[in-house]
Structure 1
């Protein structure tokens, strides 16, 4: 019997059951089942094609209080167990380079952002499975040292749609999910019922595990070794609902991976099979508090990645407007 969040015993400190285990053959069947290749003419925008002007108009009707909540973590320049490649920030001109008025101050920032510390968006070219990007495009023909010619972040543009927060600690009455705890399809459905929302076509779905709160209270840990996130058996529900974007306060994948030989199976399903871009490493604490205060978990959602031709993603600051 599959163990789910609703009936799981309290996990041991530092870890939790992330089963059931999935074979590569089972994963390949799941990949084929959720695949949406050949559906859109603008294939490198993937599931963002689902967000029509009418869906944008309906999403704007969710604005009531006018509360604006940013979801980006601070730019993290400090090394740690979850930040092996810290972001860079230094002054390139502290204001004394040239005489005269006004004084001008300039700085430089840089990041190898596909990690565990920078809030960022993964474009469709970020992940290939069995040599193929989304829509069946051969990765070796589409991505090289110059960047990506298919599925680049520059093809996405901005996204304005309905956002939905699935706040699992609020549903379960706990401070956070234990590192390694898997979230299953039944858990997503239970969260919908508890929070009064239903995931729908074109939605941006955000999953809060409470991991950032745990980090702030108990310190950083190696997120590659253990982090709460989605089990692959949750992905058919998200594919059926036709979501446009998936994100969370982790990187969506439960770790350790439940799939034999695959380190990021949810990334492979979302990006390469479903065409759903991902948002990693969000700060959802303020949004969780705002949603609880207003008693609703759907809102206007906006994100505009940097326009980087050939880029595999972008640092971002998504916004929720309630």
Structure 2
């Protein structure tokens, strides 16, 4: 793999890309080589991990993941399945059915509980792989559905390719910066909103950051219909600012889709997803819980987490934690 020798080289390669506009009609080609399948996650190196881990303050650890439960919010617009959970073995049921054929005495002594669950891959706190959205049958780095997608998922750019995420995380608390508990329905976050939040927080972005946007939407998480309906989200110009100017590695938010609807780009119903995933190789985190960080005014932290390694998958559940930095 042809990897640039420095972050400056990466920055230059990205700046020179002809696909810097969200309205571009083709997918991005990677500055990390023709076989790159993880995009900007190439910015995670031994040196970058050591730099952030060497600044750990210790003490409190923040869990940024949602719980999974029947009735939780999930993407339904395209007909995908809800989260389901059921018992496969219960202490009393095994006494009746004897599924292991160990006899009544053993079943009475050893209480057996087992469960199963199923869900759409974009349920709960999760991260999108770069094969999730593309343009014209192609995904990041030019991989093609006709050549690289089989019956068991993509054989390029699957979520199993992602490394463990260990990087500097920054929360931009847009709701708090505006003095509200939650942004209004369908509010579109602007470049100026981001700058105002950074100024109020006295925070600076760095190339390679995992940038998390707080809208306050997680307050509605226990009310699925309210949480899903007309969420606020990031505008395309704000995304350009974070990606092309600040050099963000990953973008995430506490809403279901990162972006809001209806689309602000003619001819594209999910412009942020195609812009980030397909054109710039920037993974997306959704439904991330940021209210505790907001309460304690923790804006800079070590972000540590990793998706399930689902071969060929377009997303996977994520259990991230945040540890404040010195």
* Deviates further, 234-243 or 74-83: 74-83
Q: Which runs of 4+ in 1 moved over 4 A?
A: 31-36, 79-84
Q: Which residue in the other structure is 2:299 paired with?
A: 297
Contact 1:34–1:236, Cα closer than 8 Å, also in 2: no
Tell me the residue number matched to 1:312: 314
How far apart, in 2, do the equivalents of 1:160 and 1:220 lie? Answer: 33
**TM-score, normalised on structure 2?**
0.81
Q: What is the match of residue 164 of structure 2?
A: 158
Measure how far apart 1:252 and its partner are. 1.1
The question of 1:39 aligning with 2:44 is answered no
Q: 1:57 to 1:33 in 2, by over 3 A?
A: farther
Q: Does 1:233 align with 2:237?
A: yes
The correspondence for 1:71, drawn from 64, 67, 73, is 64
Whole-angstrom CA distance in 2 between matches of 1:304 and 1:310: 16
Q: CA RMSD in A?
A: 2.5
Q: What is the rounded CA distance, in whole Å, between the counterparts of 1:206 and 1:28 in structure 2?
A: 22
Inter-partner Cα distance in structure 1 for 2:26 and 2:322: 28
Gaps of 5+ in 1: 1-26
- What residue in structure 2 maps to residue 10 of structure 1? none
1:106 match = 114
Distance 1:34 1:130, change over 3 A: closer
Answer with 97-106 or 147-156: which moved more.
97-106
Aligned partners of 2:74 and 2:82 also within 8 Å: no
* 1:129 to 1:34, Cα distance in 2 relative to 1, 3 A: closer
For 1:59 and 1:33, the matched residues in 2 are separated by 37
CA contact (8 A) 2:308 2:317 kept: yes
Unaligned runs of 5+ in 2: 1-18
Kindly provide the CA deviation profile for residues 8-65 of structure 1, in whole angstroms up to 9, marking residues without a partner as x: xxxxxxxxxxxxxxxxxxx994354997523113511111001111111121134214
How far residue 104 of structure 1 moved from its aligned partner, in angstroms, is 3.0
Q: Within 2, Cα distance between the matches of 1:128 and 1:59?
A: 32
- Bigger Cα displacement from structure 2, 163-172 vs 53-62: 53-62
Asked if structure 2 preserves the Cα contact closer than 8 Å seen for 1:82 and 1:221, the reply is no
Give the structure 2 partner of residue 22 of structure 1. none
Show the counterpart of 1:146.
Answer: 152
Aligned ranges 1:80-159 → 2 under 5 Å: 85-95=81-91, 96=94, 97=98, 98=100, 99=103, 100=106, 101-114=109-122, 117-159=123-165
Give the distance between the partners of 1:304 and 1:215, measured in 2 at CA.
22
Deviation at 1:311, TM superposition (A): 1.0
Classify 1:77/1:129 alpha carbon distance in 2 versus 1 (closer, same or farther; 3 Å).
same
The structure having more radius of gyration, on CA atoms, is 2
- Give the conservation status (yes or no) of the 8 Å contact 2:130–2:139: yes
Match in the other structure for 2:49: 56
Partner of 1:13 in structure 2? none
Count of matched residue positions in the alignment of Structure 1 and Structure 2: 288
Looking at structure 2, the residues matched to 48 and 284 of structure 1 have their Cα atoms a distance apart, in angstroms, of: 22
| Distance in 1 (alpha carbons) for counterparts of 2:204 and 2:43 | 17
Give the SS at the match of 1:30: coil
Pick which of 310-319 and 139-148 moved more.
139-148
Match of 1:9 in 2: none
Q: TM-score, normalised by structure 1?
A: 0.81
Residues 60/33 of structure 1: CA separation in 2 closer, same or farther (3 Å cut): farther
Q: Secondary structure at the match of 1:126?
A: coil
- Separation (CA, whole Å) in 2 of partners of 1:55 and 1:297: 19
188 and 140 in structure 1: CA distance in 2 versus 1, 3 angstrom threshold: farther
